Structure 1
Amino acid sequence: MTVSTVPFTFTSAGDRLVGNLYLPEGEPTGVVVTTGPLTSVKEQAAGVYAEALARRGFAALAFDHRTFGESEGVPRQLEDPLGKAADISAAITALLADERLAGKPVLAVGVCAGGGYMARAVADDSRIRAFAGVAGVYPDAAANPADPAVVERGRLARERRLATGEVETIQAVAADNGDVAMPLTEAFEYYGTPRGAVPNYTNGFAVESYEHTPGFDAQEAAARLAVPFLLVHSEHALVPPWARKFYGAVTTDKSELWLNSVGQIDFYDDPRLIEPAADAAAELFRSVL
């Protein structure tokens, strides 16, 4: 199926956000909102899955969250899980106000960290009809509490910015996996190389993000989900025990698809994972139409 891509802009908390809306041929059967991994932008994993769902007959939006990519917001490169969940709800409001999509059922896909962010958005926004988490990371704050020293580092960075205007930033990835947001070799091999480092991407992470990310909990959202849920994961992806715990706590209709990945990052760009994941998501989404 031929897919067309058009710009889609909206506002969240007063900031202008920029997205790509993927449209299928003919009338879309529903509208999917996507969110992706830590520090990522719309041209990376979120866009890959949005395009894949558009090929399956859905309109699908990938967008740059506040402070990332082409979207507004300060400090730049601030990773705020609850802020990203709020952006998702703002995106839904804008999508349903679009005459091309008015009245369409809203569906959700979260990839990697976006799986946890989307879980909170779905639990809190009754407009979403179904949710697929692909290689989702579902932090368990109760079992893995935030390191107070890390949170304090974030707080001090925020206070310094407010006092001086200086934003303290570290790299998202680096070859030596040093003081970075994602100390994973496979993450560097994606974000730190032409494989994933698209022009819109910035290899940066605002240190004050540490006020928000270490204590974020996605597990509490599992029991609050009121819509069908699909878990797509791999034994080689990040934190399978969190995925299993989240899945086990979901009380609504649910299904799971375990694929054989090399690691976490190949879920972002390997068709051998993307296609079956998108097929399963599309099957779930059609079941609620």
Structure 2
Amino acid sequence: MKSNWIKITPHKLVVLTILGAMLSLLDAVFAEDKSAWDKTFPQSDKVTHQKVTYKNRYGITLAADLYQPKYHGDKRLAAIAVSGPFGAVKEQSSGLYAQTMAERGFVTLAFDPSYTGESGGDPRHVASPDINTEDFSAAVDFLGLLPSVDRERIGIIGICGFGGMALNAAAVDKRIKAVATSTMYDMSRVMAKGYNDRQTKEERTKTLEKLSQQRWTDAEKGAPQLGPVSLELKGGEPQFVVDYADYYKKPRGFHPRSINSNGSWTVANPLSFMNMPLLTYIDEISPRPVLLIHGENAHSRYLSERAYKAAAEPKELLIIKGANHVDLYDRVDVIPFEELVSFFTNNLK
């Protein structure tokens, strides 16, 4: 009968000791990498940063960066959840907004939306007007359970395409006490009607026919087809597309997990947005306040102007002189942080 014991010789003991040391070293490296600063903006020494996860109402695990002022004692603070732009990750614009607002005394959370970045959800690189709206409410859930947060003083910021989702979330989730958007896109309006609502009914029908046929292709393959890589310029693109590429494709804002930097959406992604208008109930945010921030020279300015008209008081539209759409992603000398601080300080009392 063979013994179950393995004889350890001095030579084998040395080898095992070396292997154990190597594994311990690798563990330390991985732990260091996990906590390493992986953002497109400098780290602040005025706040603490922690990577966190939590689930939304659909059971999808969301990944986020939690920022808190270093010195706040035992006082419960107001909190702000931030996400966007559409196709970006928390290491880009939303993280910059979150860290800066944390420096000003708020507990903040920048999160990756479902199906993107480090958040869960399969298949990858899809968006949903419903699920991405829920992602904001799930962030409120998480913040409201923190011992450092006063759950009666929670607001949200949506950037670019997640501005529309933020307004939609504020309309339905009455726990959100104030909402601000920056360089807001109503993705459902743009996808359903084209820029400046110029898409005709015939063009819309043709697009829906094409996307409907795409579903057969996806069903046959058992997986959704990805579109072309985002923002690969070939020349002749509109200036706003060039501006996008200047942010996402260059060191200024490039991040490997960002769809706009290094990937593409699924071809059939527009379907639900074309059928479910995000801002249907924007007037029901009232009496909670709305702040819409947009660049004077942004191609998308009309979207905030129309949202402002549809919203009920109290509301404010702040136009930043000389700014384009992308300037409000990361230009800290252009983003009106003092106005944001004043807005949330006054309305998260």
For residues 76 and 211 of structure 2, what CA distance do their matches in structure 1 show?
A: 43
Listed as ranges, the matches of 1:108-119 within 5 Å are 108-119=156-167
Deviation sequence 1:93-126 (CA, Å, 0-9, x none): 1221233325351101111111111110110100
Unmatched 5+ stretches in structure 1? none
* 8 Å Cα contact 1:28/1:59 also seen in 2: no
- One-letter code aligned to 1:85: T
Structure number with greater Rg is 2
SS of 1:224's partner is helix
* 8 Å Cα contact 1:177/1:183 also seen in 2: no
* 8 Å Cα contact 1:33/1:109 also seen in 2: yes
Deviation, structure 1 residue 131: 0.7
Aligned residue among 128, 149, 156 for 1:80: 128
Which range moved further: 24-33 or 41-50? Answer: 24-33
Q: Using a 3 Å threshold, how does the CA distance of structure 1 residues 151 and 22 change in structure 2: closer, same or farther? A: farther
Q: Does 1:217 align with 2:277?
A: yes
Q: Using a 3 Å threshold, how does the CA distance of structure 1 residues 87 and 218 change in structure 2: closer, same or farther? A: same
SS of 1:264's partner is coil
Which range moved further: 17-26 or 28-37? Answer: 28-37
- One-letter code aligned to 2:140: I
For residues 76 and 177 of structure 1, what CA distance do their matches in structure 2 show?
A: 29
Listed as ranges, the matches of 1:39-188 within 5 Å are 39-101=87-149, 103-138=151-186, 140=189, 144=197, 147-170=204-227, 171-176=229-234, 184-188=241-245
Aligned residue among 38, 44, 47 for 1:3: 47
SS of 2:243's partner is helix
Q: Does 1:283 align with 2:328?
A: no
For residues 164 and 198 of structure 1, what CA distance do their matches in structure 2 show?
A: 29
Instruction: Point out which structure has higher relative CO (alpha carbons under 8 A, 6+ apart).
Output: 1
For residues 210 and 98 of structure 2, what CA distance do their matches in structure 1 show?
A: 35
RMSD: 2.5
Q: Using a 3 Å threshold, how does the CA distance of structure 1 residues 128 and 177 change in structure 2: closer, same or farther? A: farther
* 8 Å Cα contact 1:31/1:104 also seen in 2: no
Structure 2 equivalent of residue 264 of structure 1:
325
- One-letter code aligned to 2:100: A
Q: Using a 3 Å threshold, how does the CA distance of structure 1 residues 169 and 177 change in structure 2: closer, same or farther? A: farther
Q: Using a 3 Å threshold, how does the CA distance of structure 1 residues 157 and 10 change in structure 2: closer, same or farther? A: farther
Which range moved further: 82-91 or 195-204? Answer: 195-204
User: How much identity, in percent, do the aligned residues show?
Assistant: 26
Structure 2 equivalent of residue 253 of structure 1:
314
- One-letter code aligned to 1:23: Q
What TM-score comes out, normalization by structure 1 length? 0.89
Listed as ranges, the matches of 1:184-223 within 5 Å are 184-202=241-259, 203-223=263-283
SS of 1:208's partner is coil
What TM-score comes out, normalization by structure 2 length? 0.75
Q: Using a 3 Å threshold, how does the CA distance of structure 1 residues 159 and 262 change in structure 2: closer, same or farther? A: same
* 8 Å Cα contact 1:229/1:255 also seen in 2: yes
For residues 38 and 266 of structure 1, what CA distance do their matches in structure 2 show?
A: 15
For residues 275 and 104 of structure 2, what CA distance do their matches in structure 1 show?
A: 37
- One-letter code aligned to 1:106: I
Structure 2 equivalent of residue 21 of structure 1:
66
Unmatched 5+ stretches in structure 2? 1-44
* 8 Å Cα contact 1:177/1:184 also seen in 2: no
For residues 119 and 206 of structure 1, what CA distance do their matches in structure 2 show?
A: 25
- One-letter code aligned to 2:222: G
